Chain A
Amino acid sequence: MDLDLANKLYHKMLLIRRFEEKCVEMYSKEKIRGFLHLYIGEEAVAVGVMHALSSEDAIFATYREHGHALARGIHPNRIMAELYGKQEGCSRGRGGSMHLFDAATRFYGGIAIVTGGLPMAIGMALSDKMMKRNKVTVCFFGEGAVAEGEFHESLNLAALWHLPILFVCENNLYAMGTALEFTQSETNISLKAASYRITSKQIDGMNVTEVAESSEEAIAQIRSGNGPVFLECLTYRFRAHSMYDAELYRQKSEVEEWKQKDPLIRLPQDWSDINIAQHEEEISHIIDEAVEFAENGTLESVDDLEKFIYSSEVAR
């Protein structure tokens, strides 16, 4: 870690924070509709993990994936346009907030069925192994996913087939309004992964340095052919599950405590030379441009509605 890298990571985390704050504003103005799951508070996880990847690696994420998409390098303009439902969006307005996709950066969603992305990530890693490509597949999911059968089926296959895959569990303690302790007999998730003989580690998901370094180690291990790795990142979402909820399921004091660990506060504590004001300035331009781009985007013709069901009909 050096100042350059610290600046880079800080920039990405701040971009996600400000981008999503703008999303909230645009949601209130009814420019954005549907579900909108914010990543605010959890930025260090996506930014730290993406730092360790190459452009050849593949990513599967969940419905809470604005942060992952931005950290991976999908242009903010295209993400905002997607949230606006515009044709210039990264999924042509067909996906929305929960279904961001991008072939260029190998971003495979945006899968909004809890655990639904894991089996596909397994298959992607399997294809890399069969074709002898030295690529890694990364799969993000919340701790809620651990209760699903697909989670256990997938971990077993990854270990059994010795696949080049990194599992990243974003343990923010709640699945919607249900705390982990109400749903799991064993709340240490990394232990469950270890029981499948997967190298697994619990880390501080609020500390981007730790996430980045653990991810680098994990990716190196995977690339050298040593099979899957599982990172349980302890983190917290500062906002409601989706845009609004009454947050009856947790204490305000708990939220405040976690806010003290904000990754955007944490990183500059170690790197006091990060020029926060300059990052703010740059990012505010990026966000303004994204909004303008989305505002000026086109609404796809309704005549094209039935395209994209079968490949033969796709107007590429």
Chain B
Amino acid sequence: MNSTITYREAVRHAIKQAMEKDQRVFLMGEDVGHYGGGYAVSMGLLEQFGSERIIDTPLSESAFTGAGIGAALGGMRPIVEIMTVNFSLLALDQIMNNAANLLHMSGGQFNVPLVIRMVTGGGKQLGAQHSHSLEGWYAHIPGLKILTPATVQDAYDMVTLALADPDPVLIFEHAMLYNNKGLLDTKVIPLSIGKAKIERLGKDITLITYGASLFKALEAAQTLSDEGIDIEVIDLRSLRPLDDETIMKSVAKTHRVMIVDEGWKSGSISAEIMARINEQAFYELDAPMGRVCTLEVPMPYAAHLEQAVLPQADKIVAMAKKIMEK
């Protein structure tokens, strides 16, 4: 395939192809079958693969996520869909205490080739229990790999990469991206897990981001370029492992850094990235690093409040100018 499709279609296509190729792959989660997926990702898959491989589960996040771990131990390649990251908190025991720990606890005997996909992020006025970005939290946990596809190509590639990985991989699909259109080329060799991608070359500031914020960052970069500020935009793609090398190389070139992260500031992945730059490239910096994050409040419902809480292109532009003044 080499065509323009939506992010949603790209994820679906990847799952479909994987299931056609490998009998061990199956999808389970709430409403993935008859309903077609909470965000319509799995629409049509039940008809093609049947209810034994597209499994509608009860509202039992902990049990079906744990069942994914057990099935992975038993030789299957399960894809567990958790409707949104907020509900994954009910499965945190299984994700952290079991999936992430088993390989180590068993002295290397039991790896868990499990893929968990979930929806993350705000912007749809869904309030404080359906809009948070907790992928940075998950990136805290050794034993997990945390992927954040932003582009249509990555929406496809990351399912494939995750299924090929011997360890538990969590994929965070941002709710605002599903209708985005982009080019998917299924013939290109995907950039591996743990590799960031420079989405825009620039010389003045390194802007590090991931997920839906990538597009706000690119929009801001365009605005700034009209004003003579040249931004290099890095899409992290993977929050664990982090691609220190790509980050530090860019910092060594631009000497200025800003991070855009839809998580809250305190204890966030943006804080981690700043700490690493401090450790590895402190003397490269010409100015204090800056960041644009989600304000530290639970997500409000009202549209203007929600938009004020989230990172936005204008805030990114303002931050970039501030960094350039120093």
Seen from chain A, the residues whose Cβ lies within 8 Å of a Cβ on chain B are 58, 89-95, 99, 101-103, 108-111, 113, 116, 118-128, 130-131, 137, 149-150, 153-154, 156-157, 160, 307-312, 314-316
Residues of A close to B26: CB separation below 8 A:
130
Residues of B close to A102: CB separation below 8 A:
109
23 contacts between A and B (CB under 8 A): A91-B105, A109-B106, A110-B106, A116-B97, A116-B98, A123-B68, A123-B69, A123-B71, A123-B73, A123-B74, A123-B78, A124-B73, A125-B70, A127-B71, A150-B93, A153-B58, A153-B60, A156-B58, A307-B108, A308-B104, A310-B143, A310-B166, A310-B167
Q: Is the CB of B60 within 8 A of A315?
A: no
Residues of B close to A308: CB separation below 8 A:
103-104, 107-108
Question: Which residue on chain B has the smallest CB distance to residue A102?
Answer: B109
B106 touches which of A101, A124, A310 (Cβ 8 Å): A101
Q: Is the CB of A120 within 8 A of B98?
A: yes
Measured CA separation A92–B106 after assembly (Å): 7
Residues of A close to B52: CB separation below 8 A:
130
A157 touches which of B60, B78, B145, B166 (Cβ 8 Å): B60
Known interface pairs A111-B98, A130-B26, A311-B166. Does A120 touch B67 (Cβ–Cβ under 8 Å)? yes
A119 touches which of B72, B94, B105 (Cβ 8 Å): B94
Given contacts A121-B70, A123-B70, A125-B70, 13 further A-B contacts (CB under 8 A): A94-B104, A109-B105, A118-B63, A122-B66, A127-B75, A131-B76, A149-B62, A150-B66, A160-B58, A308-B107, A309-B104, A310-B145, A311-B167
B72 touches which of A123, A131, A315 (Cβ 8 Å): A123
Measured CA separation A121–B109 after assembly (Å): 17
A91 touches which of B76, B98, B106, B143 (Cβ 8 Å): B106
**CB of B133 closer than 8 Å to a CB of A:** no
Q: Is the CB of A157 within 8 A of B107?
A: no
Measured CA separation A128–B109 after assembly (Å): 20
Encode B246-271 as 1/0 by CB contact (under 8 A) with A.
Answer: 00000000000000000000000000
Known interface pairs A95-B105, A101-B106. Does A124 touch B93 (Cβ–Cβ under 8 Å)? no
Closest 4 CB pairs of A and B: A119-B66, A123-B70, A127-B74, A92-B107
Seen from chain B, the residues whose Cβ lies within 8 Å of a Cβ on chain A are 26, 52, 57-58, 60, 62-76, 78, 93-94, 97-98, 102-111, 142-143, 145, 166-167
Measured CA separation A121–B73 after assembly (Å): 10
Measured CA separation A316–B66 after assembly (Å): 26
In this complex, the member of A92, A126, A160, A315 whose beta carbon has the largest number of chain B beta carbons within 10 angstroms is: A126
Q: Is the CB of A110 within 8 A of B105?
A: yes
Q: How far is the CB of B78 from chain A (nearest CB, A)?
A: 8
Question: Which residue on chain A has the smallest CB distance to residue B90?
Answer: A149
Q: How far is the CB of B140 from chain A (nearest CB, A)?
A: 13
In this complex, the member of B57, B93, B142 whose beta carbon has the largest number of chain A beta carbons within 10 angstroms is: B93
Question: Which residue on chain B has the smallest CB distance to residue A123?
Answer: B70
In this complex, the member of B94, B104, B142 whose beta carbon has the largest number of chain A beta carbons within 10 angstroms is: B104
A101 touches which of B76, B107, B145 (Cβ 8 Å): B107
Q: How far is the CB of B109 from chain A (nearest CB, A)?
A: 4
In this complex, the member of B63, B111, B143 whose beta carbon has the largest number of chain A beta carbons within 10 angstroms is: B63
Q: Is the CB of B76 within 8 A of A130?
A: yes
Q: How far is the CB of B277 from chain A (nearest CB, A)?
A: 22
Question: Which residue on chain B has the smallest CB distance to residue A315?
Answer: B108
Measured CA separation A118–B97 after assembly (Å): 13
Q: Is the CB of A126 within 8 A of B106?
A: no
Q: Is the CB of A119 within 8 A of B107?
A: no
A103 touches which of B76, B97, B110, B142 (Cβ 8 Å): B110
Q: How far is the CB of A160 from chain B (nearest CB, A)?
A: 7
Question: Which residue on chain B has the smallest CB distance to residue A58?
Answer: B74
Q: Is the CB of B107 within 8 A of A126?
A: no
Measured CA separation A153–B30 after assembly (Å): 13
Question: Which residue on chain A has the smallest CB distance to residue B113?
Answer: A311
Q: How far is the CB of B167 from chain A (nearest CB, A)?
A: 5
Measured CA separation A120–B64 after assembly (Å): 9
Residues of A close to B106: CB separation below 8 A:
91, 94-95, 99, 101, 103, 109-110
Known interface pairs A89-B107, A90-B107, A101-B107. Does A126 touch B62 (Cβ–Cβ under 8 Å)? no
Q: How far is the CB of A107 from chain B (nearest CB, A)?
A: 9
Question: Which residue on chain B has the smallest CB distance to residue A129?
Answer: B52
Question: Which residue on chain B has the smallest CB distance to residue A125?
Answer: B70
Q: Is the CB of B74 within 8 A of A126?
A: yes
Residues of B close to A157: CB separation below 8 A:
57-58, 60, 63-64, 67
Measured CA separation A109–B71 after assembly (Å): 15
In this complex, the member of B57, B62, B71, B107 whose beta carbon has the largest number of chain A beta carbons within 10 angstroms is: B107
Q: How far is the CB of A104 from chain B (nearest CB, A)?
A: 9
Q: How far is the CB of B15 from chain A (nearest CB, A)?
A: 17
Question: Which residue on chain A has the smallest CB distance to residue B166?
Answer: A311
B111 touches which of A92, A109, A311 (Cβ 8 Å): A311
Q: How far is the CB of B165 from chain A (nearest CB, A)?
A: 8
Measured CA separation A58–B74 after assembly (Å): 9
Residues of B close to A125: CB separation below 8 A:
70
Known interface pairs A90-B107, A156-B58. Does A113 touch B73 (Cβ–Cβ under 8 Å)? no
A94 touches which of B62, B64, B75, B105 (Cβ 8 Å): B105
Question: Which residue on chain A has the smallest CB distance to residue B69?
Answer: A120
Residues of B close to A101: CB separation below 8 A:
105-107, 109-110
Residues of B close to A108: CB separation below 8 A:
73, 110
Q: Is the CB of A103 within 8 A of B104?
A: no
Residues of B close to A118: CB separation below 8 A:
63, 66
Q: Is the CB of A119 within 8 A of B143?
A: no
Question: Which residue on chain A has the smallest CB distance to residue B78?
Answer: A123
